[in-house]
């Protein structure tokens, strides 16, 4: 049957059907494009995530590698004041012991010992201080201390500081690099997993810093948050959804709850500073204040 044989009503229905089929095809094509765009966006986001995690891994993996030195140190009685142990310069004592092991002597202005202290962590001196407090009889003896190298020395062992760099462009002198090489050749320096990074808290010295304080503080803050938010939030949500009458007050509360989700966290921090510290004088505990905010 041709269009010429169709009645006007039949022709109109045929045109409407054709138009509907065309619209349906366009909708299917649009839906297909939409699915493609969505999958492409997800794939692109995953690709960026992989790149980000890859960069973090390739640049940050060396954090878990630690270089430590084992050094004999002579505790000279004339260098230690038992009445004021904190006033003794144990870092200088450690540096002079390292120079002696390498067959070096300090110069009149103490430049060699200063350069040596710049590659040996101050943790070595604190170890001697703690051990003398526990056992004063160690004065006059030679003890062995083990501790991390300074951050720049570790970077040299990790290959992130090179001799090829001009002296003005690196943080270690040629003499310090020679010392580091000789200490490594004498098997006085060894590398291994950086347990300090997991077992210590923050520090001004990079080689002594760790994430334990941040992890524990975050866990405590989440605990405070859960103890406060779970009962209050659940009870409030249950009341608003099941028991509260639907009026302008409940609508206002729900609108404000939705709006609070878009408030930047810095605003909550300033609010917590003003209310909990300046007004209520809450103790300055990061987990407690963070959980309250």
Residues in the chain, how many? Answer: 293
Residues 137 and 216 reside in one and the same domain: no
pLDDT of residue 240: 86
Q: Which pLDDT score, from 0 to 100, does residue 5 have? A: 65
Average pLDDT score over residue span 114-122: 93
Out of 168, 191, 207, a domain closes at: 207
Q: Is the dihedral of CA 248, 254, 260, 261 positive or negative?
A: negative
In order of 241, 250, 253, 255, 258, the CA distances from 245 in angstroms are: 9, 7, 12, 15, 19
Q: What is this structure's pTM?
A: 0.69
Q: What is the pLDDT of residue 6?
A: 67
Q: Which two tokens stand for residue 59?
A: 């640049």
Same domain, 202 and 92: yes
- Where does the pLDDT of residue 4 fall: very low under 50, low under 70, confident under 90, or very high at 90 and above? low
| Residue 128: Cβ-neighbour burial (10 angstroms; 0-12, 13-18, 19+) | buried
pLDDT tens-digit series, residues 129-149: 999 999 989 988 999 999 999
User: From the CB of residue 102, how many other CB atoms can be counted at a distance below 10 Å?
Assistant: 16
Q: What is the mean pLDDT of residues 234-257?
A: 87
Average pLDDT over every residue of 63-73:
91
As for how many domains the chain has, the answer is 3
Note whether 176 and 228 are same-domain residues: no
Q: What is the pLDDT of residues 149-181, one digit of tens each?
A: 999 999 999 988 888 887 777 889 899 999 999
Q: Where are the alpha helices (DSSP H) in 84-158?
A: 90-101, 111-117, 123-134, 151-157
In angstroms, the CA 180 to CA 108 distance is 22
Alpha-carbon distance of 42 to 49, in angstroms, equals 10
Same domain, 74 and 57: no
Is there a single domain that holds both residue 191 and residue 230? no
pLDDT above 90 (res 69): yes
For residue 267, the model assigns a pLDDT of: 87
234 has a pLDDT exceeding 80: yes
Lowest mean pLDDT among 2-11, 48-57, 204-213: 2-11
The domain in which residue 55 lies consists of 3-61
| Beta carbons of 291 and 221 less than 8 angstroms apart | yes
pLDDT at residue 1 in the model: 47
In the predicted model, is pLDDT for residue 9 greater than 80?
no
CA distance linking residue 117 with residue 69, whole number of Å: 13
Q: Same domain, yes or no, for 69 and 188?
A: yes
- Asked if 176 and 220 sit in the same domain, the reply is no
- Quote the mean pLDDT of the chain: 88
DSSP 277: I
**Mind listing the pLDDT tens digit for each residue in 23-65?**
888 888 889 999 999 999 999 999 999 999 999 888 888 888 8
| Domain boundary, last residue among 61, 82, 109 | 61
């Amino acid at each position: 049957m041709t269009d010429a044989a169709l009645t006007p009503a039949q022709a109109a229905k045929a045109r409407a059907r054709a138009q509907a089929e065309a619209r349906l095809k366009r909708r299917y094509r649009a839906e297909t494009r939409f699915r493609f765009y969505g999958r492409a966006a997800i794939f692109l986001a995953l690709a960026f995530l992989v790149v980000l995690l890859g960069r973090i891994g390739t640049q940050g993996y060396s954090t878990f590698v630690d270089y430590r030195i084992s050094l004999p140190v002579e505790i000279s009685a004339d260098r230690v004041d038992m009445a004021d142990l904190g006033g003794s310069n144990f870092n200088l004592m450690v540096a002079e012991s390292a120079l002696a092991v390498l067959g070096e002597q300090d110069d009149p202005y103490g430049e060699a010992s200063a350069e040596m202290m710049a590659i040996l962590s101050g943790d070595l001196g604190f170890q001697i201080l703690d051990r003398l407090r526990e056992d004063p009889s160690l004065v006059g003896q030679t003890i062995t201390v083990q501790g991390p190298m300074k951050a720049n020395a570790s970077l040299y062992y990790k290959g992130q500081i090179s001799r090829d760099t001009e002296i003005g462009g690196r943080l270690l002198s040629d003499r310090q690099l020679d010392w580091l090489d000789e200490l490594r050749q004498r098997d006085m320096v060894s590398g291994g997993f950086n347990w300090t990074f997991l077992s210590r808290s923050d520090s001004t010295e990079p080689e002594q810093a760790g994430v334990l304080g941040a992890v524990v503080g975050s866990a405590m803050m989440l605990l405070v948050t859960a103890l406060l938010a779970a009962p209050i939030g659940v009870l409030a949500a249950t009341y608003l959804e099941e028991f509260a009458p639907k009026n302008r007050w409940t609508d206002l509360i729900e609108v404000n709850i939705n709006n609070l989700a878009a408030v930047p966290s810095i605003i909550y921090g300033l609010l917590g500073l003003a209310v909990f510290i300046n007004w209520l004088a809450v103790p300055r505990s990061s987990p407690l204040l963070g959980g309250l905010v």
